[in-house]
């Protein structure tokens, strides 16, 4: 963003003839103005193409995620604007990419936890309290995949705890067994 403003300011000074030596005796150059406009046109085309690439790569991937669908709708709307929306195009792309990185990271963590839960459920006795506990966690995490990022994060934290009724103590491995009190 700063470089864009710098470029525009430089173009303004150059078109006034102040970029050379600070004197205003030189005649204004229309080539610089045209070049600046050409650059803005190219930047707009590039920003629009990047937004269209996001749209094509994300089409149909919302899977009921309302937050993701809203991002896609906003990108679609802004991508249809002209050069006057260049700043919006750049900003929405940066914000979406940040959001999407977080979304994908959270979804990967949820899938990892779901894999762990499959193992934990299989390791429990059928209909035990821990089996039911882990099945509930799995159910809630599967539903969490459709939530917004902040709720995904909260659900992941809530459903990543160990069963409170778990008896991980192995009586065969009592380290104090041979210790004389």
pLDDT along the chain (181 residues), means of 10: 46 43 50 72 94 91 90 96 94 97 97 96 91 95 96 97 71 44 39
Q: Is 108 helix (H, G, I), strand (E, B) or coil?
A: helix
Flag whether 124 is in a domain.
yes
User: What pLDDT is attached to residue 3?
Assistant: 46
Element (H, E) at 55: helix 30-58
CA distances from 138 to 71, 144, 148, 150, 155 (A): 27, 10, 18, 18, 11
Flag whether 15 is in a domain.
no
Beta-carbon-side half-sphere exposure of residue 29 (alpha carbons within 13 Å): 18
Domain containing 82 equals 31-159
Sign of the torsion angle spanned by Cα atoms 64, 66, 68, 69: positive
Flag whether 129 is in a domain.
yes
Flag whether 9 is in a domain.
no
Q: Mean pLDDT over all residues of the chain? A: 81
Q: Domain total for the chain?
A: 1
Flag whether 39 is in a domain.
yes
Flag whether 1 is in a domain.
no
Instruction: Express each pLDDT in 98-128 by its tens digit.
Output: 999 999 999 999 999 999 999 999 999 988 9
């Amino acid at each position: 963003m700063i470089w864009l403003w710098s470029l525009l300011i430089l173009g303004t000074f150059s078109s006034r003839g102040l970029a050379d030596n600070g004197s205003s005796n030189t005649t204004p150059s229309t080539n610089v103005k045209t070049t600046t406009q050409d650059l803005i046109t190219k930047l707009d085309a590039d920003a629009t193409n990047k937004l269209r690439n996001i749209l094509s790569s994300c089409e149909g991937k919302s899977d009921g995620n309302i937050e993701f669908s809203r991002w896609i709708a906003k990108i679609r709307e802004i991508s249809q604007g002209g050069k006057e929306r260049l700043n919006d195009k750049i900003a929405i792309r940066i914000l979406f990419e940040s959001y999407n990185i977080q979304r994908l990271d959270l979804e990967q963590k949820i899938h990892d936890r779901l894999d762990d839960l499959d193992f934990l459920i299989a390791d429990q006795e059928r209909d035990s309290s821990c089996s039911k506990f882990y099945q509930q966690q799995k159910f809630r995490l599967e539903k969490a995949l459709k939530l917004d990022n902040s709720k995904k994060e909260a659900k992941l934290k809530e459903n990543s705890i160990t069963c409170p009724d778990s008896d991980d103590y192995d009586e065969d491995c009592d380290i104090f067994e041979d210790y004389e009190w």
